[in-house]
Amino acid sequence: MDAMDSKSKGTNKKSKSLLGKYELGSLLGRGTFGKVYLARPVAGGEAVAVKVLDKAEVMGTAGMAPRVLREVTAMRRLRHPNVLRLHEVLATRAKIYLVMELATGGDLLSRLAALPRRRLPEHTARRIFVQLVAALSYCHARGVAHRDVKPQNVLLDGDGNLKVSDFGLSALPDSLRDDGRLHTACGTPAYVAPEVLCRKAYDGAKADAWSCGVILFVLLAGHLPFDDSNLADMCQKAHRREFEFPEWVPQPTRRLVSRLLDPNPATRVALATLTTHQWFKRSLSLDSQLGGLLNGQQERALAFQAPVMNAFDIISMSSGLDLSGLFDQRNREIRFMTAASPERTLEELGRAGGKLGYVMVCKNGVERLTLGGLPGLAAMTVEMSEVAPPLMLVELRLEVADGDGDGDGEGQGFGWEELRHELGDVVRTWHS
């Protein structure tokens, strides 16, 4: 139901229009000081979200006006695919309107709460976390520390991509004291770094890194690592690292979380360095899995189902790799049998590809993965089908990129034997 139709007396067509630029629609949500509406540009284009703030309430509430100013200032300088975009700011005598990008998927906390176990499998959590780190690393490089990183402030668009939002508590370069540190204690206690919680001077980027560690733990475990109504006790638990991983969290992931949840900010890992971390390079996750999981489907229902397996593309990003053999008609197809699950097979292909010069990233869409590669390079199509449980047939096929003609190579530019070696015990039998 249109919120402007049924919840306001005397509503007419004119009252729905925002300065002749937008038509306000249904109410999407409400906060302490404002409401968020769906809106559409009068001139046409994509729908947006409009946060409506009451000027009198903003000006009459201590600390609220600076918070709105910080949010606007921070969002104006940030243009990243994983940061919610602020399109423009409008105002009348009584209202302030923040016109923002629309994230139709809601917030991460609500989506997690709808899951049966309130947690995600590692490969899906990794995809979320990679985007979160990319967004915050971008913010930090531009002098913006978020300071309130939590699942409620991580939104999702229709394709399951993350959008970091709510920069009302963010810190800009002019927020630093003479010692080059921040001193204002703010944020949500369960996600706040111990140095902030204990009211010490702190580095905003390192404080955000701690919050990211808490989020990664929540994604994998389904609960908070530190949760105590007594802030002093919570601070002590954080300093003593009094948290336990569930048994299903693998050791490499535990090490990464532990480096983020380091109570010493001087030795805590910086988000900017994580892009080269091995855990990130192993990322191989499907948009369909993320979207399905966050819509409350069970994990089992999102696995690849035999006998028909979806295909995905692997495109080389290594300029130093000899790809001449990819364009020859001979030796372009390899098959192997495996008893490994489809999920493990895909994960091992991603890991092996990383060692051989391939980097895997997601493409928009449900059934395909692509890698942001160099123009004109070939692709490898991977198809899996069930032969006899638990045996699966995996077919790897090299294909010529669009616009490339016949090659003169002998089909040896791609290291099939190296790939076979890297796959290890995943391969039961190999057929060239």
Q: Which residues are catalytic?
A: 148
Binding residues: 51
Question: What single letter denotes the amino acid at residue 124?
Answer: T
Q: What's the DSSP call for residue 85?
A: P
Q: Identify which of 407, 416, 399, 397 has the alpha carbon closest to the alpha carbon of residue 328.
A: 407
Q: 201: which residues sit within 8 A by CB, 6+ positions away?
A: 177, 179, 181, 182, 183, 195
Q: What's the DSSP call for residue 186?
A: -
Other CB atoms within a 10 A radius of the CB of residue 95 amount to 15
Total residues belonging to the chain: 432
Q: 145: which residues sit within 8 A by CB, 6+ positions away?
A: 139, 170, 171, 182, 204, 205, 207, 208
- In three-state secondary structure terms, 13 is helix
Question: Which residue intervals of 241-369 are DSSP H helices?
Answer: 251-260, 278-281, 287-293, 342-355
Q: 51: which residues sit within 8 A by CB, 6+ positions away?
A: 34, 35, 36, 97, 98, 100
DSSP 340-364: S-HHHHHHHHHHHHHHTT---EE-S
Q: What's the DSSP call for residue 40?
A: E
DSSP 364-417: SSSS-EE----TT--EEEEEEEEEETTEEEEEEEEEPPTT-----S-S-SS-HH
Binding residues for ATP: 51
